[in-house]
Every structure is written in C-alpha cells, then in structure tokens.
Amino acid sequence: MRCLLLPLLLIATSASADEPRWFKGNTHTHSLWSDGNDFPEMITAWYKDHGYDFLAMSDHNTLAEGDKWVPEATIEKKKITLGRKVVDKCSERFGPDWVTTHKNAKGEIEVKLKTLEEYRGKFEEPGKFLLVQAEEVSAGFGNAPIHINAINLTEAIQPVKDLVSIRETMRANLQAIAAQAVKTGRPIMAHVNHPNFRWALTAEDLAHVIEDKFFEVYNGHPSTYPEGVPERADTSTDRIWDIANTIRLVELKQPPLFGMGTDDSHHYHGGTATSGRGYVMVRAEKLDSNALVEAMQRGDFYASTGVTLEDVAFDPSSRQLRVKIQAVPGVKYRIEFRGTPKNYDRTVQEVPAPADDNHPIRLKHSEDVGKLLSSSEGTESTYQMTGEELYVRAVIFSDQVMINPATPGQLQKAWTQPVGWKL
C-alpha cells in the first residue's frame, strides 16, 4: 500500500490549485448581440468543445445583458451559406424549450437572445471552463476604425468617437476603460485591435498612445492583414510591434507592448471570419478572470496560431530567454529571437501609401528595428542577451499549415512577449 500511496500523493501535490498552468483562450468573438451570426451559447459550445479553457465574447459596444429580441428572419439573413436554420441548430443542441420566441407588433417571429448570466451556467466549470465578460469598444476617427477590447469589465463602455485625432480618440477610449478598473477595483485590460483593418493605425500611433499596453499581433479576420502588404511600408504586425516597442523604449521611456492572438470570429455557418485561428496561452495560478488578466498584465502569456510551448522563461539574472516547444512528431520548427540593438540605425524613410490609407505617408524604419538576433531549427532554444539589445522576443515558426487558416497556406506560429528591457 505504501508504495502505491506515495506516487498518488506526489501527483496530488503537483496538481495543486495554486500552481500556475497554461490556459487557452480567445478574447475576441462576436455573436448576435452585435454583428456575429450565431447565438452566444452556440459559439461558447464550439470553443468549449474544441479544448479552450476560456472565452471572452466581445460584441461591439454592448454587453450581453437586458432584453434583446432579434427577428428570426434577420438571423437567417445573416447566415452566409445555405443550410439548416440557425434557430433549429440551437434548439437541437439545447433542447426545444431553450429558445424563447414571440411575435412582435408586425406579426414577425422574434427570438430572445440569452444574456451572459443566463447561458454561462451551462458551460462554466471550476478549473475547466470560464466565460470572461468583454466588449469591443468600437470607436473611430473619420474613416479609421479604432476598436479596443475591454476584458473583464462589469459595465458597458460607450465609445468616444472623432476626438481631435486618431491618437486622441484611442487615448480617450483607453482612459474610459482604465477608469472603470479604478472605479471597480477589478483588473480590466484593454487590447487595441487589428491595426491594419482599413489601414487605420500605424506603429507610431501604437507607440505614442502610451495608455495602450496590448495589441493584436494576430487577428483571424481576413480583413485585418497581419502579414501587412508590400505597397504600405512596415505594415506586418511583427514590424508594427518592433517599431512601436523601439519608439517606446528609446524616445518615450515606456514599456513595450504585449501581443495578443485572437479569432475576431463573426461567422459560424461557413463564411470567412470563423473560429479556431488565433488565441492566447496564459500562465495563471487559477482559471479566474482576475487571475487571467493579471497574468497577461505581467506578460505571462504568449500568442499562437497553433504552436504550443512547453515553457517560455526569462531569467533576469543570467539575462537568458529560453523557449521550449511542445513538439508534434514530424513537425519542423524554427525559433527566431528578435530585438532592436541599442545603437540601431535610426534612418526613417517616408513612403506614400495608396489612396484608401488613413495615413497618406507611412514611415519605413531600418532593418535594425526588430533585427533577427538568432535563428535555429529545433524544439528548444536559448538567447543570451549581450547588453546591446533594447529587448528580445521570440517568434516560433512551424512548417504546418494552420488548422483553419485565414488565408491559404498560413503557417502555425507563436509569439512570446518582449523581455529584458529596462527603462
């Protein structure tokens, strides 16, 4: 008996509730509460069924609360492809009594959307699955959309639009989100979304709005162009990230941005903005919305489109950044360490952008910004900082195509957060 008990005891100890572990989540999702085309409970079921630990439904400028009725005809019209009725799919999954309908004054059938409080109990399980309240605060300046996800908030935030400039509009919305965190005493985080959606935000915008701490390095909506396009200078989100981080550290003496991976899913019956593309892996001591947000605010997470890491660790005393991949047999990986040297080439070129750009002139920075510091094939790598780098971060490439790529052939990647920087 003794021989049996000891290993059991060890297992119990190592799985204690307070030991940090990785939680997989998506913080950017739309439902019928705004412009998504399915019921939030159907979307939540998809994420839970597909191994996610948490999900933030982030509808535009609304929380899923109060009475909201949507005509059934509108729901069916939003569906992209032909197929079974959206309402039928929902009642098949949750039973015939789950969907509430009535006839409005015009005699149309309307469906009542479930509030977060009404549907969360169907899914949440301590330590296994969590719904985090969120909103995509959707503002803009002129033609430039300024969308910011507020995660773990309690009250809806009204967007502030068209305030002086793109940057001032970003700032005002971020300040409104931060004010709610102060008022409620809750950790609430804000991530600025899809900088390349309608070519709205540049690296310089993200750098100079220092109220912003997070941005989407990967967004799965096909109109968000995370790889950028060659006719617009420095528009890949990796370049945007490195440029913004460099400006912050050198000119503004501010910490770098952290990078998020998200789905921004809207379509659940075929279509292009679907689920299962970008996500975050957060290392937290428990599956709790405050703990998850605090872990992300510490930078203890990475963004991914399919690559899983066993560990990512920066040792401040030895100044080593170590990355270990949870390797899939037969898959080839490359680990790149990137960062900007302190004595980087500061040359900046002005490059005219196409007419539909919100920035007629875009800036092209030198290749020293976000320079490739080392690259290696394999499943594990360590970078030793020399003291000459402003920061370092790792990008992990796989030779496997994403399970649900946003553009054909998009390969699985992961991005760790910048480390080793000093103010």
Instruction: Please say which residue, 189 or 249, places its beta carbon nearer to Zn ion.
Output: 189
CB closer to Zn ion out of 138 and 416 = 138
CA nearest neighbour of 54 among 155, 109, 162, 130: 130
From 85-93, 262-270, 292-300, 305-313, give the range in contact with Zn ion by CB under 5 A.
262-270
- Find the largest Cα–Cα distance for the chain: 77
* Count of residues of this chain found to bind Zn ion when the rule CB under 5 A is applied: 4
Identified binder of Zn ion from the candidate list 53, 238, 264, 389, rule CB under 5 A: 264
Within residues 75-104, the interface with Zn ion by CB under 5 A covers none
Cβ proximity to Zn ion, 110 vs 136, nearer residue: 136
Q: Which stretch binds Zn ion (CB under 5 A): 15-23, 186-194, 307-315, 329-337?
A: 186-194
Closest separation in Å from C-beta 107 to Zn ion: 34
Mark 290-329 with x for binding to Zn ion (rule: CB under 5 A) and - for no binding: ----------------------------------------
CB of 215 to Zn ion, least distance (A): 12
State the minimum distance, in angstroms, from the CB of residue 153 to Zn ion.
16
- Quick one: 140 or 255, whose CB is closer to Zn ion? 140
Minimum gap (Å) between residue 133 Cβ and Zn ion? 16
Question: Which is closer to Zn ion, CB of 152 or CB of 254?
Answer: 152
Residue type, 272: T
Residue 278 or 339: the one with the smaller Cβ distance to Zn ion is 278
Q: Residue 75 Cβ, how far from Zn ion at the closest point, in Å?
A: 19
Q: Closest CB to Zn ion among 30 and 338?
A: 30
Q: What binding mask, one character per residue, do residues 117-156 give for Zn ion by CB under 5 A, x or -?
A: -------------------x----------x---------
Q: Compute the distance between CA of residue 195 and CA of residue 214 in angstroms, rounded to an integer.
A: 12
Residue 101: beta bridge partners? 111
Q: How far is the CB of 31 from Zn ion (least distance, A)?
A: 11
Q: Min. distance of Cβ 72 from Zn ion in angstroms? A: 24
Residue closest to Zn ion (Cβ) = 147
Q: What are the C-alpha distances in Å from 326 to residues 306, 316, 345?
A: 11, 24, 36
Smallest separation (angstroms) from Zn ion to the CB of 30: 6
Residue-wise burial string across 284-301, b where 16 or more C-beta atoms lie within 10 A, e elsewhere: bebbbbebbbbbbeebbb
- Measured from the CB atom, the residue of 147 and 393 that comes closer to Zn ion is 147
CA distance 301 to 292: 9
Residue (262 or 381) nearer to Zn ion, CB: 262
**Residue 269 interacting with Zn ion (CB under 5 A):** no
Q: Cβ 80 to Zn ion, closest distance in Å?
A: 16
Summarize as ranges the residues that interact with Zn ion (CB under 5 A). Answer: 136, 147, 193, 264
